[in-house]
Amino acid sequence: MADLTDHQAAAWTSYQRMRVRLSGVLGRELARTTGLSEADFDVLVAVHERPDDSVRALALRCGLEWEKSRLSHQLRRMEQRGLITRETCEEDSRGSVVRLTPRGRELACEARKHYDEAVQRYVMDSLTPEQLSALAEIADTLLDRIEITHK
Amino acid sequence: MADLTDHQAAAWTSYQRMRVRLSGVLGRELARTTGLSEADFDVLVAVHERPDDSVRALALRCGLEWEKSRLSHQLRRMEQRGLITRETCEEDSRGSVVRLTPRGRELACEARKHYDEAVQRYVMDSLTPEQLSALAEIADTLLDRIEITHK
DNA sequence: CCAGGCTAGTTGATACGTCAACCTTGTCGT
DNA sequence: ACGACAAGGTTGACGTATCAACTAGCCTGG
More confident residue, A79 or B148: A79
For residue B114, give the CATH number of its domain. 1.10.10.10
- Tell me which residue in A1, A15, A20 faces B117 most closely, judged by beta carbons: A1
Residue A88 lies in a domain: yes
Check residue B52 and give its pLDDT: 94
C-beta atoms of B7 and A132 within 8 A = yes
Residue A41 lies in a domain: yes
- Assess whether pLDDT exceeds 90 at residue A1: no
Check residue B151 and give its pLDDT: 59
Say what percent of chain B tops pLDDT 70: 97
Check residue A147 and give its pLDDT: 87
Residue A4 lies in a domain: no
Q: Which residues of A touch B14 (CB under 8 A)?
A: 135-136, 139-140, 143
Residue B64 lies in a domain: yes
The per-residue pLDDT for range A117-149, each reduced to its tens digit, is 999 999 999 999 999 999 999 999 999 999 888
| Residue of A120, A146, A149 best to disrupt the B interface, most CBs of B under 10 A | A146
Residue B10 lies in a domain: no
What range does the domain containing A50 cover? Answer: 19-149
Check residue A20 and give its pLDDT: 95
CB of B37 lies under 7 Å from some atom of strand C = yes
Check residue A151 and give its pLDDT: 60
**How many Å lie between the alpha carbon of A135 and the closest alpha carbon of chain B?**
7
Residue A2 lies in a domain: no
Q: What mean pLDDT do residues A83-105 have?
A: 95
Check residue B2 and give its pLDDT: 66
Residue B47 lies in a domain: yes
Check residue B1 and give its pLDDT: 60
When divided into structural domains, chain B yields a total of 1
Q: What mean pLDDT do residues B54-68 have?
A: 96
Q: Which of residues 113-132 of B touch A (CB under 8 A)?
A: 116-117, 119-127, 131-132
* DSSP for chain B, written as a single string: -PPPPHHHHHHHHHHHHHHHHHHHHHHHHHHHHHS--HHHHHHHHHHHTSGGGEEEHHHHHHHHT--HHHHHHHHHHHHHTTSEEEEE-SS-TT-EEEEE-HHHHHHHHHHHHHHHHHHIIIIITTS-HHHHHHHHHHHHHHHHHHHHHT-
Residue B18 lies in a domain: no
Say what percent of chain A tops pLDDT 70: 98
**Per-residue b or e along B60-81, where b marks 16 or more CB atoms closer than 10 Å to that residue's CB:** bbeebebeeeebeebbeebeee
